[in-house]
Structure 1
Amino acid sequence: MIKRLMVLSMILVGTTAVYSQGLGGLLNKAKNVLEGGGLSNDEIGMGLKEALNVGTGEAVDFLSDEDGFYKSVYKITLPSEAQQIVSKVSKLPGFGDFETKLVERMNRAAELAVSKAKPIFVSAIKGLTFKDVTDILMGEKDAATRYLQRTTQEQLYAEFQPIIGSALDEVNARSLWKEAVTAYNQIPLVKKTNPNLDDHVTNKSLDGVFGLIEKKEEGIRTDVDQRSSDLLKKVFSKQDK
């Protein structure tokens, strides 16, 4: 979504050409857009907000669908500190497919939690000021994504973590993990451990959300066919010139 803001910004500013002109050219282009160019301040702001809404909405819809995480590049794997447990426990009776089961359940938990992200993104986008818009337009290539992360990540983490915990319980991931950790800690001479699944799955869920939003934004900025409304086409066409 954020990247969609960037898309708008780059579009309005004249993405590729602007960067080749350096900072001075970027600022001049942005100034021209904000002062006229057939687009009002309201249209520019509305275009950025629509790009963000489209990007975040599509990202959340995709990742919250079944296999959105589990069978995509955003698949969540076990934390590195859990690998020692897996390597030991998988040799014990009844734990042969432990890793496969746990990884699937972790991803199911993420898919359940991500659906709760939409209202948080919508609120952040509504709060976008014209100063935010100009900062994004005249900022770095990833300014839009950085804006969304800066304004939503803390709240998303606070919202996601308890949902992830409940979702892990709902798909029985915690009980499976508890069985494995208990079995591992009973092995003679091993150092007792119990990595936190909730924190790991929450952080990886957020990584997936922002990673996909970034790709969605890039699509709007570079692919005319992904500009799904007249407003997006009008605003982002400035980037193509």
Structure 2
Amino acid sequence: MKKSILLMLPALLTLQLSQAQLLKKLKDKMESSSTATKTSSSSTPQSTGNAASGKVTESEAGSGIKQALSKGVSAGIAALSKKDGFFGNEAYKMFLPEDAQKIEKTLRSIGLGSQVDKAILQINRAAEGAVTTAAPIFGNAIQQMTVTDALKLVTGGNNSVTDYFKGKTTDQLKSAFAPNIQSALDSTSATKYYANIVNTYNKLPTTMTKVNPDLKDYVTSRAVAALFDQIGKEEANIRANPAAQTTDLLKKVFGK
């Protein structure tokens, strides 16, 4: 009996050793798998969480603001540069400058109404022609913007971005746009028609206060104001209408 046990002992020891080695391998494999799972779970959710959170960085906000402004400028120029973009639009149609409005009644009363009408028409035609040159001027101003409070502007009112841009760039835009306005006034003969009616009025014996025949500043101010109004409408549309958020960036920055 003892001899049989002694003969079986090496086999038992070998079997026990094999089981121990197998258990160790299984343990090592489980620990390795657990470590990989922890690593994956610690890294993947962080990445997914950031993407899912939809948080807008200041850089994205600044880029989104510029994209919205560019979209507004393009829409504004398209609407205003077409025929009757000013003349046929009650909101933007230009009449005689304020200090020259007293001319109209006087000149119409002496049979010169057609000259007044020609002057008004050509003033508006000049504005329609000039706004086509505004794109690079506005584009440069947009690219040079430093939007330090971009996140605040994104979450502001419907026209907060437009109002910010207007406050920062109106004067420089007018200065840059004025030569184009003057060129358009000259090419449409608006300068000539307006100068004719002003000079005619100034020569009347009943005229006590002379009127300045310079149109450039008046038309420039009105044209820039009309463009900003169009930009503001487009901004409000982008904020309120998902269909107007035509890029992924606009969706992220202005989406609800």
Which category of TM-score, normalised to the shorter sequence, fits these structures? 0.7 to 0.9
Return the match for 2:72 from 55, 59, 69.
55
Aligned residue in 2 for 1:147: 164
Are 1:121 and 2:138 counterparts?
A: yes
Give 1:125 shift.
2.4
Match of 1:111 in 2: 128
Q: CA deviation at 1:70?
A: 1.4
| Distance in 1, Cα, partners of 2:183 & 2:62 | 38
Could you say which residue in structure 2 is the equivalent of 1:75? 93
1:168 aligns with 2:164: no
2:54 to 11, 21, 38: 38
Over the residues paired in the alignment, what is the CA RMSD in angstroms? 2.4
Please, which moves more after superposition, 103-112 or 189-198? 189-198
Between 1:144-153 and 1:217-226, the stretch displaced more is 144-153
Q: Does 1:208 align with 2:226?
A: yes
1:65-110 CA distance string (max 9 Å, x none): 22211112211121222122111112334x2322321111111111
Deviation at 1:192, TM superposition (A): 4.3
The question of 1:230 aligning with 2:248 is answered yes
Deviation at 1:135, TM superposition (A): 4.0
How many angstroms apart in 2 are the aligned matches of 1:140 and 1:40?
Answer: 17
Structure 1: distance between partners of 2:191 and 2:247: 44
- Matched to 1:86, the amino acid is E
Q: 1:120–1:152: 8 Å Cα contact kept in structure 2? A: no
Partner of 1:45, secondary structure, is helix
One-letter identity of the residue aligned with 1:54: K
In 1, the alpha carbon distance for the partners of 2:56 and 2:162 equals 24
Alpha carbons 1:59, 1:213 under 8 Å: kept: yes
Structure 1 runs of 4+ aligned residues shifted over 6 Å read none
Is the CA contact 2:158–2:236 (under 8 Å) kept in the aligned structure 1? no
CA distance in 2, matches of 1:40, 1:236: 10
> What is residue 200 of structure 2 aligned with on the other side?
183
**Percent identity between the aligned chains?**
35
Which blocks of at least 5 consecutive residues in structure 1 are unaligned?
1-33
CA contact 2:54–2:252 (8 Å) conserved in 1: no
**Alignment gaps of 5+ in structure 2:** 1-49
Q: Is the 8 A contact 1:106 1:201 kept in 2?
A: yes
TM-score by length of 1: 0.75
TM-score, normalising length: structure 2: 0.71
| Aligned pair partner of 2:119 in 97, 102, 110 | 102
Greater relative contact order (Cα < 8 A, sep 6+): 1
Q: Residue 107 of structure 2: which of 75, 78, 89 is its match?
A: 89
Aligned CA distance change for structure 1 residues 167 and 175 (closer, same or farther; 3 Å): same
Distance 1:173 1:127 in 2: 34
Question: Mean Cα displacement is larger for which, 42-51 or 147-156?
Answer: 42-51
Contact 2:76 2:227 in 1 (8 A): yes
The structure number with the bigger radius of gyration is 2
Contact 2:65–2:154 (CA<8 Å) still a contact in 1? no
What code does the residue aligned with 1:82 have?
A: A
In the superposition, relative to structure 1, how do residues 38 and 71 fare at CA in structure 2: closer, same or farther (>3 Å)?
A: same
Residues 170-191 of structure 1 deviation map (CA, whole Å, 9 limit, x = unaligned):
1111111222122222222321
Shift of 1:122: 1.8
Tell me the SS of whatever aligns to 1:90: helix
